[in-house]
Amino acid sequence: MSSLAQRSLACQQRALAEGALVPLATELLDSSPWHPFQVRRLLSATPKHLHAPGPKPNPFQPWDRRLEVFGLDRHVVLLNKYPVEPGHLLLITRDWQHQGGWLNRDDWGAVAALWGQQSGLWFFNSGPEAGASQPHRHLQLLPRRPGQQPCPLAGQFLQALESGVTPWPWQLGLRPLDPSQPPSAETLAAIYGELAGAQGLGSPRLDASPQRPYNLLITPSWFALVPRRLEGHGGFSLNALAYGGYLLATENSDVAWLAQQGPLALLAEAALPRP
């Protein structure tokens, strides 16, 4: 069987030729006001999923077969139709599962099954207040080459693990992973449940649904959970990638405010403050 990366590349080539894949054009802004964050300005027309919220058809029932990389028993791997980065993948449930519900053993089993085929930055937005654009359950993967940093703040996450002190003014749950071996579904589920309880979300075993919105960021070296309270601020829509150091400015974003106040002030507005 070919690797996930090989299948993804072949699917990208076909989908581009057929017009099913619509990469977004962006420009990387001067990093001096907000280093190490990366801020990109959207140059393409704003995709429909970034417009004001309202009833939308479910794009995953049925999903666009032209974007399908391959299938698992209960999940399907798709290309993101509107990627900022090439190869952006979505792991969706075949059947309807709510984005705001708990991730379950099947979800973590699918992540574990893909882990060894494609290294990268996994992330999850639990609902609209956490930056999710669709209510059908989907985790996301930004592929990374061996040795490539998973996100701009990766070094700070590693320092936080070493020191035991997080440098940001918002609540954050953080646990190490062993980069030398793929984690099992049981390991991922156990860390998820532990961090959910510690950050006030409740328990996947005892509660019907999480008690608040949240983001997940998962790399080969660490697993992070960020409780959320608002979807965005200053015209910036903020999902999990923002807490990894990636910001996307649209025509509604107040970039001047960001340059003056800084990304930490922006992210603090939307996250749950640290006690």
Residues 39-62, mean pLDDT to the nearest whole number: 78
In the chain, the amino acid numbered 95 is D
pLDDT beyond 60 at 272: yes
**Strands, DSSP E only, in the chain?**
26-28, 38-42, 68-71, 75-79, 89-93, 120-125, 138-143, 173-176, 214-218, 222-227, 232-233, 236-237, 246-249
Q: How many CA atoms lie within 13 A of 138 on its CB side?
A: 24
Closest CA to 24 of 91, 69, 84: 84
Domain edges within the chain: 4-45+62-270
pLDDT of residue 1: 39
Q: Give pLDDT tens digits for 83-133.
A: 999 999 999 999 999 999 999 999 999 999 999 899 999 999 999 999 999
4-45+62-270 sits in which CATH class?
Answer: alpha beta
Q: Give pLDDT tens digits for 208-222.
A: 999 999 999 999 999
Residues 75-82, mean pLDDT to the nearest whole number: 97
Helices within the chain (DSSP H only): 4-18, 105-115, 154-163, 185-198, 255-261, 263-270
Q: Using pLDDT thresholds of 50, 70 and 90, give the confidence band for residue 2.
A: low
pLDDT beyond 70 at 49: no
CA-CA distance, 218 to 216, in Å (whole number)? 6
CA-CA distance, 85 to 30, in Å (whole number)? 18
Q: What is the mean pLDDT of the chain?
A: 94
Q: Using pLDDT thresholds of 50, 70 and 90, give the confidence band for residue 200.
A: very high
